[in-house]
Amino acid sequence: MKTIKRISAVLFAVILVAVSAAPAFAADHKGAIKVTDVTPEKTYNIYRIFDMSADVDETDPDNPVINGVYYEVNSDWTDFFTTGAGAAYLSDTDSTNSLPVTTFNSATKYINITDANVAEFSKKAQAYVISKPVAATASQNAPSAGTTPMEVNFTNLDLGYYLVYPYGATQLKGTNASVCALTSTDFTQEIVAKSEFPTIEKTVGSGETDGSYDIGDTLDFTIKGVVPDTTGYTTYIYKISDEMSAGLAFDTDSLTITVGSNTLTDTDLEDKTVSTTGFSFKIKNINDTTRYNVGDEITVTYSATITSNALRNRPANEAAEESNNAQLTYSNDPTITDGTTTSNSTPVEVKIYTSTIQINKVDSESADATKLQGAQFVLKKTEGTDVKYYKQDPSTKEVTWVANKADATVAISGTDGKAVFEGIADGTYLIEEIAPPTGYNKLSADVTVTVDSKTVGHNVTIEQPIVNKKGVELPGTGGIGTTIFYTLGAILVLGAGILLIAKRKMKSKANG
C-alpha cells in the first residue's frame, strides 16, 4: 500500500488508443484521446511508446470491430527498452499465454505490461521522458478557468500506446494510485487526469474560508499542501508566500511549519522572510526522499490580529474586507537542473469581515424627520445566560465585551443624529437607550439588530433608525398616579372614621 501511495503523483495515464482495420488499412484509421478534469491553462503532453497496427472487420463501416493488434516499439523509445528501465517489461517468454507479442531488435518479445504493474511502468516511462528528453507526440494547453468542459482533446492520432503526461505535475489527485484500464476496443480513449499541479489550501479558525470577528480578535490561520513527487528533478523549489491586508497584523512569533510529523526549524528552510504583513519561505531539499515522503502533509499555522486599520477609509479599488492571500511557487520543468523555472499556484484567499452599527436618531419616521442630538446608548449581546456589553478602547479601537454596564462604551448621537458601534463581528445585538435627548421620551424596550456581513460579502454598516417621541407621558388609568389618590383617599376616610368613633366614646364617658 505504501509503495502504491508513493507512485509518482504525476500518474501519467498510459492509454491504448484503439486501432485500425488491418495493417494495410492502418492509415485509414486515426485515434483520439480526451483527458478530462484537467488543471486550467496547464500543458498536457502525449508520447507514443508503441506503434500499433490492427486487423479490423469493417463489415459494418459505422461500427468496425477489432480482431487483433500488433505492436512495435516506437523509435524514440528504443533506448528505454534496450538498456533502460523498459527492458524489464519485454519478456522472452509468456507463461500466461496472454501477453501481446512484438519483434524488437530482431527477436520475438512479449510485452509484460499488466494491470498489476502499469502504474510503475508509467512512472519509469515518465522518468525516461524527462531524462532523455523525448519529444512529445502532441501537446495541448488546458482551457482557462471557468471553461466548460474542462478537458483537452488530442485528435487525428496515429494508433498506438500512449503516455499522457501533465508536464510539471507532481501532486497526486485525491487517492488515485492507478492509471485507466487498457483497452483495444475503441478508436477513442477518454481518461480522467490522475495527477494535478501542486496547490495549497487555506482556512481560518476551525476550517472556514472566511470569518467575521471583532477588532482586537486574534485569528488562527492554516495553510496545507503535500510533499510533491519530484521524480526527475535535480532541484525542486517549493515556496509558500503569504500577504495580509492593512487591517491584519501578523504575529511574527506564531509561524509553525510541519511536514508529516516533523516540525521544521530555520535550518530546514531557505530564503525565509517575515514582517508584520506576512512571510515567505522555501522548504530546503524537499526532493530529499530520505527526509520527506511523497504525499506527506505540509501544514503551516500562524496567527494575526485585526487592528484599527480595518476601519480605514478605503480607495475605490480596494475590497471592503480584510484579506489574507497565500500562494505556492513550485518548479515546473525537470530539465532545468536548478529548478528555477517555476509556476505559481492560484492564490488562495481568506476574507475577514468586521462591521459597524450606525444608529440614526430621529423624532419621527418621516423622510424629513429631525435628527436628535444627545441620545445615549449601550450595545449588548447574550452569551448563554449572560449579558455582555460592548466596550471599545478609544486608542486601539479594540473591542471587548464586559459584564458590567457601567464599564460599557456609551455611544452618543451627534448633531447629525448618528451614534456608532464599530468593529464588531456578525451576530444579533441589542441596543439599549440609557438616556434620551432632552425633552424626549426614553425608549421603553431594547432594539434588536442583526449583522450578517458574510452574506453580503464585505464589511457592512447596519443603519438602524431609532425614533424618540417628544413630551412627558402622563400615567395611564390604573397607573401609580391614580392609585396613589385612591390610596390617600382611603386612608383619609379611614382616619376620619376612627376619629369619629373616638369622639363618640369620649362623649359617652363624659355623660356617664
201-353 folds as: Immunoglobulin-like (2.60.40)
Cβ-proximal residues to 439 (8 Å cutoff; 6+ apart), any chain: 470, 471
- Respond yes or no on whether the N-terminal peptide bond of residue 23 is cis (omega within 30° of 0): no
Give the predicted TM-score (pTM) of the model.
0.73
- The three cell numbers locating residue 203: 482556512
- The three cell numbers locating residue 9: 503523483
- Predicted confidence at residue 502, as pLDDT, reads 60
- Predicted confidence at residue 506, as pLDDT, reads 60
Q: Using an 8 Å Cβ cutoff, are 297 and 260 in contact?
A: yes
Bridge partners (DSSP) of residue 222 are 203, 301
- Predicted confidence at residue 58, as pLDDT, reads 76
- Predicted confidence at residue 339, as pLDDT, reads 85
Domain with CATH 2.60.40.740 in the chain: 201-353
Rounded Cα gap, residues 413 and 431, in angstroms:
13
Backbone angles phi, psi at 218, to 5 degrees: -100, 125
Domain with CATH 2.60.40.10 in the chain: 355-467
- Predicted confidence at residue 459, as pLDDT, reads 86
- The three cell numbers locating residue 393: 478602547
**CATH number for the segment(s) 355-467:** 2.60.40.10
Place of cell 467575521: 212
pLDDT in tens, the chain (512 residues): 343 333 343 344 444 443 332 333 344 677 888 888 888 888 888 889 998 887 777 788 777 776 777 889 999 999 999 999 999 999 999 998 889 899 999 999 999 988 888 878 887 887 788 777 788 999 999 999 889 999 999 988 888 888 888 877 775 444 332 233 223 456 777 777 766 788 899 999 999 999 999 999 999 999 999 998 887 788 999 999 999 999 999 999 999 999 999 999 999 999 999 999 999 999 999 999 899 998 899 999 999 999 999 999 888 888 889 999 999 999 988 778 888 889 898 899 999 999 999 999 998 888 888 999 999 999 999 999 999 999 999 999 999 999 999 999 999 999 999 999 999 999 999 999 999 999 999 998 999 999 998 888 788 888 898 888 776 554 544 445 445 544 555 555 566 666 666 666 665 555 55
DSSP state for residue 252 in the 8-state scheme: T
Backbone angles phi, psi at 7, to 5 degrees: -60, 145
Q: Using an 8 Å Cβ cutoff, are 200 and 348 in contact?
A: yes
- Predicted confidence at residue 118, as pLDDT, reads 81
Rounded Cα gap, residues 310 and 211, in angstroms:
14
Q: Using an 8 Å Cβ cutoff, are 359 and 420 in contact?
A: yes
Rounded Cα gap, residues 353 and 324, in angstroms:
12
Cβ-proximal residues to 348 (8 Å cutoff; 6+ apart), any chain: 200, 201, 202, 223, 325, 326, 327
Rounded Cα gap, residues 485 and 412, in angstroms:
39
Rounded Cα gap, residues 116 and 76, in angstroms:
25
CA angle 393, 398, 399 (to 5 degrees): 90
Give Cα 45 distance to the centre of its chain. 29
Rounded Cα gap, residues 485 and 84, in angstroms:
113
Question: Using only C-alpha atoms, what is the Rg of the chain?
Answer: 39
202: left (phi over 0), alpha (psi -120 to 50) or beta: beta
* DSSP collapsed to 3 states, 84-116: CHHHHHEECCCCCCCCCEEEECCEEEEECCCCC
Give the CA count within 13 Å in the CB-facing half-sphere of 277. 6
Rounded Cα gap, residues 353 and 214, in angstroms:
9
Helix, strand or coil, per DSSP, at residue 75 = helix
In order, the DSSP letters of 373-411 are: ---EEEEEEEETTEEEEEEE-TTT--EEEES-GGGSPPE
**Around Cβ 303, how many Cβ atoms within 10 Å?**
16
- Predicted confidence at residue 366, as pLDDT, reads 87
Rounded Cα gap, residues 144 and 494, in angstroms:
96
- Predicted confidence at residue 358, as pLDDT, reads 95
Long-range CB contact pairs, 434-439, < 8 A, 24+: 434/376, 434/377, 434/378, 434/410, 435/374, 435/375, 435/376, 436/375, 436/468, 437/361, 437/372, 437/373, 437/374, 437/375, 437/413, 437/468, 438/374, 439/470, 439/471
Backbone angles phi, psi at 79, to 5 degrees: -65, -35
Place of cell 464599564: 407
Rounded Cα gap, residues 7 and 125, in angstroms:
12
Nearest to 21 by CA among 48, 61, 51: 61
- Predicted confidence at residue 500, as pLDDT, reads 61
Cβ-proximal residues to 279 (8 Å cutoff; 6+ apart), any chain: 241, 242, 250, 252, 255, 272, 273, 302
Q: Using an 8 Å Cβ cutoff, are 330 and 345 in contact?
A: yes
